[in-house]
Chain A
Amino acid sequence: MASSATVTANQLIIMAELKLFRTWSSPFPLRVVWALDFKGIQYDTIFEDLSNKSSLLLQYNPIYKKVPVLVHNGKPLLESLVILEYIDETWKQTPLLPEDPYERATARFWAKFGDDKVLPSIWNVFIKQGKDQEEAIVTAQENLGFVERQLTGKKFFNGETIGFVDLAFGWLAKLLSLWEEVCGVTLIDHEKFPLLSEWIQNFADAPIIKESWPPRDKLITKYQALLEVYTSKEAPK
Chain B
Amino acid sequence: MAEEILLFGAWGSPFSRRVEMALKLKGIEYKYIEEDITNKSPSLLKYNPVHKKIPVLVHNGKPVAESLVILEYIDETWKDSPILSKDPYERANARFWAKFIDEKCLSAIFKACWGEEKEHEKAVEEASELLQFLENELKEKRYFGGETVGLLDIAANIIGYWLGVFEEASGAELLTREKFPKLCNWANEFVSVSAIKENLPPRDKLIAYLRNRFGVGTTSK
Contacts and interface: CB of A to CB of B under 8 A. Distances in A.
Interface of A: 63, 72, 75, 77-79, 82-83, 85-86, 89-90, 101-102, 104-106, 108-109, 112-113, 146
Contacts of A72: 89
B161 to A, nearest CB: 24
B92 A77 contact: yes
**Size band of the interface chain B makes with A:** 20 to 34
Interface in B59-115: 59, 62, 64-66, 69-70, 72-73, 76-77, 88-89, 91-92, 95-96, 99-100, 104
B73 A102 contact: yes
Given A102-B64, A112-B66, A89 B72 contact: no
Interface in B32-53: 49-50
B92 A82 contact: yes
Contacts of B88: 86, 89-90
A72 B92 CA distance: 12
B91 to A, nearest CB: 7
B133 interface: yes
Interface string B152-168: 00000000000000000
A63 B104 CA distance: 10
Interface of B: 49-50, 59, 62, 64-66, 69-70, 72-73, 76-77, 88-89, 91-92, 95-96, 99-100, 104, 133
Given A109-B64, A112-B69, A102 B95 contact: no
A75 B77 CA distance: 29
Contacts of B100: 63
Given A79-B96, A102-B62, A113-B50, A86 B91 contact: yes
B89 A109 contact: no
Contacts of B72: 104-105, 108
B99 A82 contact: yes
A104 B92 contact: no
A224 B62 CA distance: 44
29 contacts: A63-B100, A63-B104, A72-B89, A75-B89, A77-B96, A78-B96, A79-B96, A82-B92, A82-B96, A83-B92, A85-B91, A85-B92, A89-B91, A90-B88, A101-B73, A101-B76, A101-B77, A102-B59, A102-B64, A102-B73, A104-B72, A104-B73, A105-B76, A106-B64, A108-B66, A109-B64, A109-B69, A112-B66, A146-B50
B69 A108 contact: yes
A76 to B, nearest CB: 10
A72 B87 CA distance: 14
B67 to A, nearest CB: 11
Contacts of B50: 113, 146
B127 to A, nearest CB: 14
A63 to B, nearest CB: 6
B65 A109 contact: yes
Given A63-B133, A82-B99, 11 more contacts: A82-B92, A86-B92, A101-B73, A101-B77, A102-B59, A104-B73, A104-B76, A105-B64, A105-B70, A106-B64, A109-B64
Q: Which 5 A-B pairs have the closest CB atoms?
A: A101-B76, A89-B88, A105-B73, A86-B92, A108-B69
A80 B90 CA distance: 16
- Between A105, A108, A146, the greatest number of chain B beta carbons within 10 A of the residue's beta carbon is seen for A105
Contacts of A113: 50
Contacts of A104: 72-73, 76
B80 to A, nearest CB: 15
A86 to B, nearest CB: 4
A110 to B, nearest CB: 9
B66 A109 contact: yes
Nearest to A146: B50
A170 to B, nearest CB: 20
A61 B212 CA distance: 39
Nearest to A89: B88
